[in-house]
Structure 1
Amino acid sequence: MGGRAISNLTADQLDSELKLSERGAADGRKNLPASGDDQLSAVEAMVVSRIDGVIGQRSNEILGVGSGQDFTTLPQDLETLAGEPQTILTQFRAKKARAQSAVGLELNNTHSDFARAYRDYRAFRIQHQLTETEPSYDTVFWRKVFFLALLFTVEVAANGWIIGQASPGGLVQGWTTALMISVLVVLTGSLIGAGPWRYLNYRGADGNGAVHRLWAVPSVVIGGLLLLLFAFYIAHYRYALSHSDLDSPAPDNILSSIASAPFQPFQQMESLLLFIIALLIGIFAVARGAHWDDPYPGYGPRHRRMEGARERAQELALGLSQEVDEAKQDADQALAEIAQRSTASVGALRQAIARTQDNAPIWDFQVLQILSEGRDAIEIYRDANREARSGKAPSYFDTDAFEDVEPPSSAEILESLQTAFARATNNITACKSQLAGARAQLEAEYHSFYDDELTPFLKNIENNATVNVRSEFDDGPAAKRAAPRVEEPVSDEPPEEPSRGPLSFKRLRGQR
């Protein structure tokens, strides 16, 4: 049988693994296959299949990953890849359309809400002559509450400590009285500041603010007298406690004492200190109440409604832009994968051609050796079958079992690969052209979404909306230098503001 080119495949090894001698003898004793049969027996077919598998394995080992036959469908595969960019582009359009459909109605409604709030805000500024001022208020609720709580805590601590030292009931009675007075002082001051104090400078629509001052001024005076009464009360209470016996009940003639001798407690430093603290806390409470919202009544709520509508529209638009960005990212990734797959396929084909050229002699020699080992293995089976059978052996025993097995030669494989490479080169050019066109179209539609579709949704909803509202009524030098503008009454839509463009989400894309 000659030298063995493949150490792990010999006829003897096949005989040992497949028990060809034993199977041949067993079939021969049964006169199988029959003398008239012209088809290979099951054992022979198994040997032929085994040899065919070994040839395919050796093709992969010698010629590289995949034999020449693995590349016969490459041109068709590249033709299929050439159509996928348009499919990816269609998928991007579908995702963009679904995202727009999901939020389009809500975004339009929010834009209408902003336009309505803007008109109300603008008309309020014109009517109340607030074109030179911006709303000013604390937007953090806990911070506003904290300052009121701080005032209350300081008043309770000061009153409780000073009163408790002189109270016959000790600190408990002192803190109880301090708590009551502190609540009255802080609450009264806050109500004065949040209510009548803010209406002292209220101009009202079309200048009718004097009507509100008719009740605001008396209310402020009454509130101030109440704060003064509470301050006198706490001072007289402390003075009365300091001049009472330890077992005496709490004094109940404070109001009459205030009426008869209002300044008598100031002879005592502690009472004077309580009086000053109560007045200061009351004044601070008035200031805190006045600035709980914008000091001008009605200005803050209108500004918040406008800002809230603008922020809701921006949030919806930002969510829409994020979905479109994700769709764009998925499309870019899919196009990159197609480019990578096509390049890798052609690269593998180049490698197969190079390895076939380098290993052609080895391949041709080893194919012949493998077939030779297969024929010897078949002869082992047939010889054992002939010796054991009592009848005539089938006539096909004299024919070559591998006559239909014709592995391609290296020249044939190389020719097939080169033919496939020529077709693949043309197809990959078309694939690259489709990729470039799809990428260009994808970028164009992506930017068109921001420039032509999303921006109109956000027309006149800008980050600097408040500043631009002020600039509409500016009569200073900057306004005189600007282009002439015809003043119009309040319209149904927010006015055009040429100083800045609408909110651009391109900047958001760049930041991400």
Structure 2
Amino acid sequence: MNSTTKRPSAIARLRALLGQAPHDYRPATQVFLDLDVQSNAREMALTDRGSERGTENRPQSSAETLDDVEHQVVERIESHKQDAHGLYLEHLHTYDQRVAALNFEERFTVIQQAAPEAVGDFAAEASLGRDELFALRRRLHESEAEREGFRVKHGITRPARLVSLGSGLLKAGVLAVLFIIETAINGSFLAKASEQGYLGGIVQAIVFAAFNILVSFLWGLVPLRLINRRSTIVKFAGILSFAIYLLFAFALNLTLAHLREVPPTLGIEPGQEVLKHVLTAPFDLTDVMSWLLFGVGFMFSLIAMVDGLTFFDPHVGYAGLERRWNDASLNFTNTKAELIERLRSIRDDASEAMNDAARDLTVRRSELDALLQARSRLAQRFVEHQAQIERACNALLQTYREANRRARSTDAPSYFDRPYKLDRIVPAPVEPDADHKEDLRRSIVQAQETLRAQTQAINDAFDSEVRSYKEIDQFFPEAASGKAST
């Protein structure tokens, strides 16, 4: 539903028609009940009253009109006829209500308005999706141009080396293992030179191991990767960083080796003593285990540096460009798939609603034919029922007259031999004229043709919009031959 106009969509209006019942009625099994002659004769005591009045020779032989008893019979029959006529009109009104409930004109109007609007709504939805997709494709193009510009600038022909979750955890695990091993080795070696023994050696080992591992890792992560740049100045800065790193790693681990050889003597500051030895006699190590400590620390520093150097792509910034390009590409692809699926859902929903509306017209046309036939049968049954009650009336009169004849001593009136003629009620015509039926048939066919045409229009619009989604790529051609797209 549109939030501004609060008007239901075209498909919703079509579906609302399908939710309406074609009629509201309770079917009956029988309409007109036949008169029971014997029951009425017994109730009115026609035989006894006929004999009684015949004994009195009533009515007179010269009588030409019905007597009181016969009038009572006729009045009962006329009353039943009027009741039957009222029942006929009541059922006829029910049929008329059911015919009116089919409401073809409203359906024709809604179909003529809603079906074309459904195609328009579909096109509007597709247009919104196309705008969204165009913006995403433009962002993808910009990311791709930025990445390709970086590759051209630095002479790169390979994709960036991205760090996955598994490889990142592995590299972080390597650093953790190096830290633990170096802490354990340094702690055992430095315990000799610590006044606090092994505990003091562990504390010093943790400080040196953390500084050695983390600084080496960070050095490889940022400054040393500058060596891969094509710019001479930047490349020189990377080479200089590598030289500084070697000097740092060498000096740090050499200091650690000298710290091991400083005896824990009272009154001597170990830090100052180590600094004096490093500055005056840096290679004057008297114990081979000190050289071993130096070698292990320097090797772990190199491993941490290489771990940092390979943690991301060797070219600084290339992995970020690649990741942004991948995210933009994935976002564009997924959004395009979602938009196409959304259009497919709208198309299927609209096609289903229109097909249901077309079938609904056929069902209602059959319902109308059945109602018209039922109305015709109702009128025929009313005519037949009047004939039945006329026969019943004559049977009741005959019962009375025969009993009267047998009891009379004079001749019966001559009108006893004439049957009673019931004044029939002629039912009004219930069948619509041929022109009206033909107009209705043409309207139904036209509405169904409209629905079929709009269903095909939605299918064609779907194919066209899907092609337009795919053609968006033509506005942003991908890079070729290592050059950024223009």
* TM-score tier after normalising by the smaller chain length: 0.5 to 0.7
Residue by residue over 1:98-127, the C-alpha shift from the partner in whole angstroms, topping out at 9 and shown as x without a partner, is 6635872x6555544444443343333333
| Aligned positions of 1:53-92 closer than 5 A | 67=95, 70-71=98-99, 74=102, 77=104, 80-81=107-108, 84=111, 87-92=114-119
Q: Flag the 1:357–1:302 CA change in 2: closer, same or farther, 3 A.
A: same
CA distance in 1, matches of 2:220, 2:347: 54
SS at 1:459 equivalent: helix
Q: Flag the 1:70–1:217 CA change in 2: closer, same or farther, 3 A.
A: same
Q: Flag the 1:416–1:212 CA change in 2: closer, same or farther, 3 A.
A: same
User: Which residue in 2 is equivalent to 1:294?
Assistant: 313
Percent identical pairs in the alignment equals 17
Is 1:186 aligned with 2:205? no
Which one of 467, 472, 475 corresponds to residue 481 of structure 2?
Answer: 472
SS at 1:190 equivalent: helix
Aligned-pair distance for 1:248?
A: 10
Which one of 279, 283, 289 corresponds to residue 302 of structure 2?
Answer: 283
Aligned-pair distance for 1:136?
A: 1.7
SS at 1:458 equivalent: helix
TM score, norm. by length of structure 1: 0.56
> What is the number of equivalent residue pairs in this alignment?
376
Aligned-pair distance for 1:369?
A: 10
Q: Flag the 1:72–1:219 CA change in 2: closer, same or farther, 3 A.
A: closer
**Does the CA contact (< 8 Å) of 1:189 and 1:283 recur in 2?**
yes
SS at 2:246 equivalent: helix
Is 1:427 aligned with 2:443? yes
Residue by residue over 1:398-455, the C-alpha shift from the partner in whole angstroms, topping out at 9 and shown as x without a partner, is xxxxx9x9876xxx55x45998765544333222221221111111112111213x33
Q: Flag the 1:251–1:439 CA change in 2: closer, same or farther, 3 A.
A: same
Residue by residue over 1:295-347, the C-alpha shift from the partner in whole angstroms, topping out at 9 and shown as x without a partner, is 12343344345445545555665565455444324422321331231132133
1:343 counterpart letter in structure 2: T
Which one of 100, 106, 118 corresponds to residue 144 of structure 2?
Answer: 118
CA distance in 1, matches of 2:310, 2:466: 41
- Note the aligned Cα RMSD (angstroms): 5.1
Residue by residue over 1:215-267, the C-alpha shift from the partner in whole angstroms, topping out at 9 and shown as x without a partner, is 22221022123223344444555x459x759x999943445566455665543
Which one of 150, 167, 177 corresponds to residue 154 of structure 1?
Answer: 177
Which one of 451, 456, 471 corresponds to residue 467 of structure 2?
Answer: 451
User: Which residue in 2 is equivalent to 1:380?
Assistant: none
User: Which residue in 1 is equivalent to 2:158?
Assistant: 133
Which one of 337, 343, 366 corresponds to residue 347 of structure 1?
Answer: 366
SS at 1:216 equivalent: helix
CA distance in 2, matches of 1:144, 1:219: 26
CA distance in 2, matches of 1:176, 1:55: 110
User: Which residue in 2 is equivalent to 1:388?
Assistant: none
CA distance in 1, matches of 2:296, 2:476: 48
User: Which residue in 2 is equivalent to 1:440?
Assistant: 456
1:185 counterpart letter in structure 2: N
Residue by residue over 1:245-293, the C-alpha shift from the partner in whole angstroms, topping out at 9 and shown as x without a partner, is 9x9999434455664556655438xx84x65654454333323322343
Q: Flag the 1:91–1:4 CA change in 2: closer, same or farther, 3 A.
A: closer
Is 1:327 aligned with 2:327? no
Unaligned runs of 5+ in 2: 1-31, 37-82, 390-422
2:155 counterpart letter in structure 1: Q
Is 1:303 aligned with 2:322? yes
Q: Flag the 1:211–1:260 CA change in 2: closer, same or farther, 3 A.
A: closer
Which one of 289, 312, 316 corresponds to residue 267 of structure 1?
Answer: 289
User: Which residue in 2 is equivalent to 1:506?
Assistant: none
SS at 2:159 equivalent: coil
User: Which residue in 2 is equivalent to 1:97?
Assistant: 124
Aligned-pair distance for 1:352?
A: 4.4
**Does the CA contact (< 8 Å) of 1:135 and 1:299 recur in 2?**
yes
Aligned-pair distance for 1:134?
A: 2.0
Q: Flag the 1:4–1:79 CA change in 2: closer, same or farther, 3 A.
A: closer
CA distance in 1, matches of 2:363, 2:287: 98
User: Which residue in 2 is equivalent to 1:218?
Assistant: 240
Q: Flag the 1:338–1:251 CA change in 2: closer, same or farther, 3 A.
A: same
| Aligned positions of 1:12-51 closer than 5 A | none
Query: Which of the pair has more CA radius of gyration?
Result: 2
Aligned-pair distance for 1:186?
A: 2.8
